[in-house]
Amino acid sequence: MLSAALGRRSCSCVRRRRRLCPTLPSSSGCPASPLSPSPLRILSSPSSSRGVQGSSLQPGANNVKPLEGVKILDLTRVLAGPFATMNLGDLGAEVIKVERPGVGDDTRAWGPPFVGTESIYFLSVNRNKKSIAVNMKNPKGAKIIRELAAVSDVFVENYVPGKLAEMGLGYEDINKIAPHIVYCSITGYGQTGPAFQRAGYDSVAAAVSGLMHITGPEDGDPVRPGVAMTDLATGLYTYGAIMAGLLQRYKTGKGVHIDCNLLSSQVACLTHIAANYLNCKMEAKRWGTAHGSIVPYQAFKTKDGYLVVGAGNDQQFVTVCKILNLLEVSKDSRYKTNKLRVQNRKELIEILSARFSEKMTTKWLELFEGSGVPYGPINSMQQVFSDPQVLHNGLIMEMDHPTVGKIAVPDLEKVCNCVPRELVWRRLQWRSVPEGYVHRIQGPAVRYSEFSASKPKPPPLVGQHTAEVLKGTLGYEDNAIEELLRTGAVVQHEVK
């Protein structure tokens, strides 16, 4: 079984680690010196221009990613943590995702839609990762996690505070064997306080933090944002915090415990809404697509859709009036300044809305083009992924999945050539993605001049890399791995 899982994989990586850390045992176990199992943990002088010893590549070297050589042990599930570690993987980090044997990450069951047996939700936030299936409640499984922590740079988890400590995997436990570790905890409410032991989900945190109070139609009920913005914001905070933790370790030679949580992330993102209350005791309200402090800045209904227009200053407002052929409005004393426009919002919006309703969206797009006023249509997903700028920005990535192969949401233009459009959309509301298409996902939002995030590795199967990591990273012998498999401490997924 192991030969099928590992093929003819060499142990050169283990020999290389032994040269870096001569005390590494030949079978299993942790290095005696957890500060030096990889080149990126051998700290150079803070005055070094590179910041890391072992990096002999010169500026301009072809496609060298900034986190190559950084190892991340990822115990997170669902969205915030996986989103953070996926972004770190895009920058070259080796991400080892620890999953429960059998079921794996919770999101593997979230659907439809599925492609084959794989959840599209899971596939969307787990590229560039290896998966190991470890039963952490088994003492042998917990031992493997400690061994991996000792040879990793970053440890990320999103368990309820205290849960990992019960298994000997809390920060204090890991810090004893790996004082170099950047240990990042993601929770719903933080490590301490009256609510710290509550489980945290995006919608609940969005409600408690006030986000849902300010989201929705002006006279309607609170609304959950269309994507899990609290989870995603926490993921981005986590991503930045881990990068800061690595820099902090470079400066001090010590690891750090990072506390990220959904509540704090979303409250921090309230920005001016929070400041309005804290400084002026101004209670927030829902504005639909409009803005509480800028007018006009909202969606306007056209003959066939919606157009969002934002006039952030007085000159832009004059330009909007010219495009709408409402010059008399721009000269009206009630609308001369943004403050006055906010005070007279209702009357002004009625005038502008009546004019926008007279033309098709495409016509308004033509009229606003080159005006300097921010504008754009409200797009469906089909329109988003056929938008010329989205295509130009390289936001669509293709990958081959290990079991389903070339799979994807259908290319609508190709499908629409052979079946009625209404049938296409009926097929898109489903249960399962048709086989035979290339698997496409949205790619990283950021581009860099010296390297690219091209050729991503596909999201893994549960336990796809268990034997590979045990042998290649920890130096386990085949018989030791076979014993772990036999006892159920780990599981290896066989790729056929």
- 129 vs 266, 402, 468, 472, CA distance in Å? 27, 13, 13, 15
Cα distance from N-terminal residue to C-terminal residue, the chain: 12
Q: How many other C-beta atoms lie within 10 A of the C-beta of residue 322? A: 14
Q: Which residues touch 146 (CB under 8 Å, ≥6 apart)?
A: 30, 168, 169, 173, 174, 177
Pairwise CA distance, residues 35 & 37, whole Å: 6
Measured CA distances, 195 to 159, 187, 198 (Å): 14, 11, 6
Strand order in the sheet with 490-491: 256-261, 182-187, 154-157, 71-75, 94-99, 129-134, 490-491
- Considering only CA atoms, which of 31, 446, 2 is closest in space to residue 243? 446
231 as an active site residue: the answer is: yes
Given the residues 105, 106, 231, 478, select the one marked as catalytic.
231
Question: Tokens for 269?
Answer: 């993102």
Beta bridge partners of 257: 183
CB 429 within 8 A of CB 456: no
Burial class of residue 157 in the structure, from the number of CB atoms within 10 Å of its CB (0-12 exposed, 13-18 middle, 19+ buried): buried
Quote helix, strand, coil % in the chain, to nearest 5: 40, 15, 50
Alpha helices, H only, 209-270? 229-252, 262-268
- Which residues are known to be catalytic? 231
